[in-house]
Structure 1
Amino acid sequence: MITLWQAHFSFTMIIFLLLPSFGLNKAARIVLLIALLAASFIPLNGLSLAAYLRSHIDDLAITTLVFMVWGCLRKLGFLQPAQQSATTVLIIFAAMALVLYPATLGLTYLDPYRLGFSPRPMLIVVALLTIGLFYQRSYLAVVMLASATLAFIVGIKPSHNYWDYLVDPLLGLYCCVALLALAVRWTYGWLSTLSAQ
């Protein structure tokens, strides 16, 4: 049951975040979000649109859901942009994706995914990382990591692997692409400054 609701919320937030704002005010954007949630129940070939999307992207990690909730709240105007916190999130989860996915594709001899089944060392590392991020005031990353750990302990998802709560291909790909875009923008700005001198 939880996975079905997760699919509907995932569908709603992904579409909402991909759509432009259309110059709508806050109330109209809230109505749009509710309309997208209702649209997620529309059947297509015997499956709801949300279930159809889920069949392509699978269940998202808890961290991805928290990140999308943060993005939706920003887009609705309830939260102010926090560039430093967002950049920290991009670095952390891009690093996790680069550790996990090359190995799962057989590109290395290491198998970090196996560690997620008995994740006591991982839990300690993530706890220390979360404490460090809290003292650095990277609250978005703290909430993402803490939510994933709590969800794993409770067992919200069908998976018994801690990695499935921490990162998924969608989040990993987004973070890597966003970091690359930031690096290109920074390099372009730096070169522009040099040429202007």
Structure 2
Amino acid sequence: MISLWQAHISFTLIIFLLLPSSGLKRAARIALLLALLAASFIPLDGLSLAAYLRSHIDDLAVTTLVFMLWGCLRRLGFLAPAQQGTTWVLIVFAAMALVLYPATLGLSYLDPYRFGFSPRPMLIVVALLTAGLFYLRSYLTVVMLASATLAFIAGVKPSHNYWDYLIDPLLGLYCCAALLMFALRWAQGWLNTLRGSEKGA
């Protein structure tokens, strides 16, 4: 039952974030969000649209749901548009994806996924990481990691592997792509500055 509701929530948040809504007032955006939630129950070939999407992307990690919820709150205007805090999110979860997924594809002899079944060392590492991020005031990352850990302890997902609460391919790809874009923009800005200094000389 929890997985089914998670599928409907995932469908609603993903589509809402993908649709352009900058020209709509807050009430219209809330109405759009509710309409998407209702649309997630529409059947398609015997499956609801939410279940159909879930068959392609599987259940999302708790961290991804929290991240998307944060994005929706910003888009709805409940959080300030200028609020910062995503840089560490991108770094932490891109690093997790690079540790986990190359190994699952057979590119490494080490299998970090198996550590998620007996995750006491992982829980300690994540707790220390969360404390460090709290010190750095990356509160969004702290909430994502804490939510995933609490959800794992409560067993809210069918999976018994801690990794499935922390990261999924959708979040990993997004974070890696966003970091790559930031790196390209920084490199372009650095080159423009270098060329400007050369012309000035």
Q: TM-score range by the shorter chain?
A: over 0.9
**Which runs of 5 or more residues in structure 1 are unaligned?**
none
What residue in structure 1 maps to residue 89 of structure 2? Answer: 89
Greater shift after overlay, 180-189 or 89-98?
A: 180-189
Q: TM-score normalised to the size of structure 2?
A: 0.96
In 1: Cα distance, 2:114 partner to 2:75 partner: 37
Do structure 1's residue 53 and structure 2's residue 44 form an aligned pair?
A: no
Do structure 1's residue 8 and structure 2's residue 12 form an aligned pair?
A: no
Do structure 1's residue 158 and structure 2's residue 158 form an aligned pair?
A: yes
Q: Deviations over 1:100-145 (max 9, x none)?
A: 0000011100000000000000000000000111111100000000
1:82 shift after superposition: 3.0
**Which runs of 5 or more residues in structure 2 are unaligned?**
none
What is the one-letter code of the residue matched to 1:181? M
What is the one-letter code of the residue matched to 1:41? F
What is the one-letter code of the residue matched to 1:82? Q
In 2: Cα distance, 1:180 partner to 1:35 partner: 34
In 2: Cα distance, 1:78 partner to 1:193 partner: 37
What residue in structure 1 maps to residue 174 of structure 2? Answer: 174
The secondary structure found in structure 2 opposite 1:60 is: coil
What residue in structure 2 maps to residue 31 of structure 1? Answer: 31
Do structure 1's residue 128 and structure 2's residue 128 form an aligned pair?
A: yes
In 1: Cα distance, 2:196 partner to 2:27 partner: 45
Greater shift after overlay, 179-188 or 120-129?
A: 179-188
In 1: Cα distance, 2:176 partner to 2:183 partner: 11
1:187 shift after superposition: 1.0
Q: Deviations over 1:135-183 (max 9, x none)?
A: 1110000000000000000000000000000000000000000100111
In 2: Cα distance, 1:25 partner to 1:182 partner: 30
1:22 shift after superposition: 4.8
In 2: Cα distance, 1:192 partner to 1:16 partner: 36
1:195 shift after superposition: 1.6
Alignment of structure 1 residues 60-71 onto 2, 5 Å: 60-71=60-71
In 2: Cα distance, 1:10 partner to 1:82 partner: 23
In 2: Cα distance, 1:22 partner to 1:77 partner: 10
Q: Deviations over 1:64-89 (max 9, x none)?
A: 00000000001111112433x20100
What residue in structure 2 maps to residue 43 of structure 1? Answer: 43
Q: State the structure with more CA Rg.
A: 2
Superposed CA RMSD in Å reads 0.8
What residue in structure 1 maps to residue 76 of structure 2? Answer: 76
In 2: Cα distance, 1:24 partner to 1:122 partner: 43
Identical residues among aligned pairs (%): 81
What residue in structure 1 maps to residue 145 of structure 2? Answer: 145
The secondary structure found in structure 1 opposite 2:86 is: helix
Q: TM-score normalised to the size of structure 1?
A: 0.98
In 2: Cα distance, 1:35 partner to 1:185 partner: 37
For these two proteins, the number of residue pairs brought into alignment is 196
In 2: Cα distance, 1:128 partner to 1:75 partner: 31
The secondary structure found in structure 2 opposite 1:116 is: helix
